[in-house]
């Protein structure tokens, strides 16, 4: 069982930056693929970014490519999402997700993840 706790959300103006963190419990963090998803009011949850076990492989949704960066520090059981040039349409609850993987593959589909955090609110004002 893995427990995930997100932090770092808040209110920011258009063009600003935030860094989200997701701390995971357990001693096998390096065997988990990590992802970030978000859900805006009235919309379905959508993929934002993911990183493989080593942190070398990453993948991003087209809407955040070039503005967001996912990274992980396995020694600290933590994955990050650096968000720059934020836009009002980035407003959402952001969720961290994890799934065990024997390879360095990346997963972009919500149903492929086993564990989820409680979410952290990000609000971008115009």
Residues 84 and 21: beta-carbon distance below 8 Å: no
pLDDT recorded at residue 98: 97
Residue 30 has φ and ψ, to the nearest 5°, of -70, -10
CA angle at 33 for the pair 119 and 57, rounded to the nearest 5°: 115
pLDDT recorded at residue 26: 81
| Sequential pLDDT tens for the chain (126 residues) | 899 999 999 999 999 999 999 999 988 999 999 999 999 999 999 999 999 999 999 999 999 999 999 999 999 999 999 999 999 999 999 999 999 999 988 999 999 999 999 999 999 999
pLDDT recorded at residue 1: 83
């Amino acid at each position: 069982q893995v427990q995930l706790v997100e932090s770092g959300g808040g209110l920011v103006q258009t063009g600003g930056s935030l860094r989200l963190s997701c701390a995971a419990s357990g001693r096998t963090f390096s065997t988990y693929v990590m992802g970030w998803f978000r859900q805006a009011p009235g919309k379905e949850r959508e993929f934002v970014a993911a990183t493989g076990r080593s942190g070398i492989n990453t993948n991003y949704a087209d809407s955040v490519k070039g503005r967001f960066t996912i990274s992980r520090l396995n020694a600290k059981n933590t994955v990050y999402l650096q968000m720059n040039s934020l836009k009002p349409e980035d407003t959402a609850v952001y969720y961290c997700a994890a799934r065990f993987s024997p390879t360095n593959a990346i997963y972009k589909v919500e149903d492929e993840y086993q564990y989820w955090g409680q979410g952290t609110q990000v609000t971008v004002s115009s």
